[in-house]
Structure 1
């Protein structure tokens, strides 16, 4: 059980409790804004297939573009102001959907909304890593599990709202969903404002933010083999994850699997990730992260390569749950390992660059797999990310051996 802080005789929730609740409501708010409502809302506004695809791609692009600059800014000005800025975006963005009457306007709205998670992700990680230096894996696992619960609950409530008001005319059902997203964002802003200066990590580098500081931070990240190889691990993992969550349902439908069973499989996967992350994080804090990262990445490769071997329900269930556990094993360790490696002055920049590279993998996976599957079939489409994962695992091992004898080796 997470300890509470005592201030002048009063018991206050711990920082990780605040951040976990923030993460739950924040991710709930953003997820209910897109799944399943966004493509339906876009279509109702008159968007064609190409426009719907563009609208869906805009929000992840914000994470790719802004996670690194946000990390650099957090190093220079401290995370508190950026955390507050993300709370303001979470609160205001859902209201903008209520004003949209042309699908084209969803593009800037989605980009603006994407800024919220682009800020929150690296800043929350930076705060956790700074505040819990000896429990990075465990505490980041708790935070991640809280966001997963929000990500899982949001589509359920969104679907209920859309179904309950399906008989309504016009855009009322969609607007009610975005009103729910706004209400869920209210506690996000209220809670981030309660994280006072005594609870956050202070600015590490200080000074003004400039183009030169961005360039120096990026160059420093690129020169560090361990940082770069760890970021590639995260990219390869989310490359596989993006393919898995996009193309596995289509593969199973083509194999005759009922839709309800597919939904149950993914629910089990999310449950496996949410329950295992704090445990795997605590294990990595005690026993080291490198071996756990390599084993997890190889397990990712094995599970996704096994997908096209059979569509038998017991085997598919084992693969889906195993893939979730493998994702958990890798991702709860990689971010904490980056924090182990990074200097105190470059923690935010390193976490931000790491997040951007992860987003590139997650966004590009489904696209690359679509090209491969279209030309060579499902077996090749699922084997490609497995091959990439094995190659990156070998690269990660080699990078670590080259740095053997350094201060972080062995973690």
Structure 2
């Protein structure tokens, strides 16, 4: 499944780089906090509507066809974004980008969930999250250089070409597996106490993502005084902790009790790091952001691993898609809330509030996380 890792690397590199650097572009275009919040919320909202239909298609029809179409759409949208200057058309473009990114994400997850070549879940999903997490730092470093030398529009063109090449590589993926699945099967799979508690836990977890595409970049630029290149270096360096933590999970043998403890420890580290990164010294801020991303890496690996254990192979595409849709409500709510809060109360305030929510959610996780 090496090709899966390469495709995920390219996709996360392109989408995350553009999404993280876009708020700086929005400020240059004169967008206010409310406008930026709407754009990011629409980008984040796509899984609410499209995750389950995409997962159902994955379970019954195709995964590779959806992935190829999604990459082609992302390529076209990246090329178009460089020519958009208004809030409304930018919001529409980011909504479509969110739909395409979600379609690819759900489909490649389904393909990987259904592959049974690797028997140890920690090794399988730690590597999976680790490789996709290397895309953002690589993209941010490259993106910073390209944007500085040739401009943001050229950066978008580069990402468009990369997605186009990735679309051509989808056909080389392995055999797809399907089964006859009814909607009733999904009802029994998802609507039970254990899964619903985990869903609520995921919604609260996702709230803090609302800071990342709204106030994170502006905070680094205005509060810490970093240049655009400095912002990219800060983000990329901290993101390496996320990939490293996920690869660490992949080196541990599967142990449900230890995994659960590490999941909650990762959430605690993430919350503390997010709060403490608001200190005024850039070196200390980076250290605590690195801690936050390491916690996120542990959480990312164990979220995917837990989903793989909750559902059967036949229904995992649609069932995991439903959980992603529920999780998106947290991401979308966080985008609207933290963008509004940050541009009114101070850009550091959303980080502190979101970190506190993560700490509270770690306590809730003692009850909500499945014990097996």
* TM-score grouping bracket, smaller chain normalisation: 0.7 to 0.9
Aligned mates of 1:301, 1:235 — CA distance in 2: 15
Query: Which residue is 1:23 aligned to?
Result: 8
CA displacement 1:35-57 (0-9 Å, x = unmatched): 5468648966x978765654444
Q: Unpaired segments of 5 or more residues in structure 1?
A: 1-14, 167-172, 208-212, 404-408
Q: CA deviation at 1:22?
A: 0.8
Q: Is 1:277 aligned to 2:246, yes or no?
A: yes
Out of 175, 179, 192, which is 1:224 matched to? 192
Alpha-carbon RMSD: 3.7
Aligned mates of 2:88, 2:251 — CA distance in 1: 46
Q: Is 1:65 aligned to 2:49, yes or no?
A: yes
Query: Which residue is 1:357 aligned to?
Result: 326
Q: Unpaired segments of 5 or more residues in structure 2?
A: none
Contact 2:201 2:368 in 1 (8 A): no
Instruction: Give the structure, 1 or 2, with the largest relative contact order (CA under 8 Å, sep 6 or more).
Output: 2
Query: Which residue is 1:233 aligned to?
Result: 201
Query: Which residue is 1:243 aligned to?
Result: 211
Aligned mates of 2:230, 2:156 — CA distance in 1: 29
* 1:285 partner SS: coil
- Gap change, CA 1:205 and 1:396, over 3 Å in 2: farther
Aligned mates of 1:19, 1:306 — CA distance in 2: 35
Q: CA deviation at 1:375?
A: 7.5
Out of 116, 119, 122, which is 1:134 matched to? 119
- Gap change, CA 1:240 and 1:95, over 3 Å in 2: closer
Query: Which residue is 1:195 aligned to?
Result: 173
Q: CA deviation at 1:332?
A: 0.5
Number of matched pairs: 369
Q: Is 1:299 aligned to 2:269, yes or no?
A: yes
Out of 179, 185, 197, which is 1:204 matched to? 179
- Gap change, CA 1:235 and 1:138, over 3 Å in 2: farther
Q: Is 1:384 aligned to 2:353, yes or no?
A: yes
- Gap change, CA 1:226 and 1:257, over 3 Å in 2: farther
Aligned mates of 2:265, 2:86 — CA distance in 1: 48
Q: Is 1:343 aligned to 2:336, yes or no?
A: no
Q: Which protein is bigger by CA-based radius of gyration?
A: 1
Aligned mates of 2:225, 2:159 — CA distance in 1: 32
Query: Which residue is 1:12 aligned to?
Result: none
Of residues 246-255 and 284-293 in structure 1, the stretch that sits farther from structure 2 once superposed is 246-255
* 1:301 partner SS: helix
Query: Which residue is 1:76 aligned to?
Result: 60
Contact 1:227 1:341 in 2 (8 A): yes
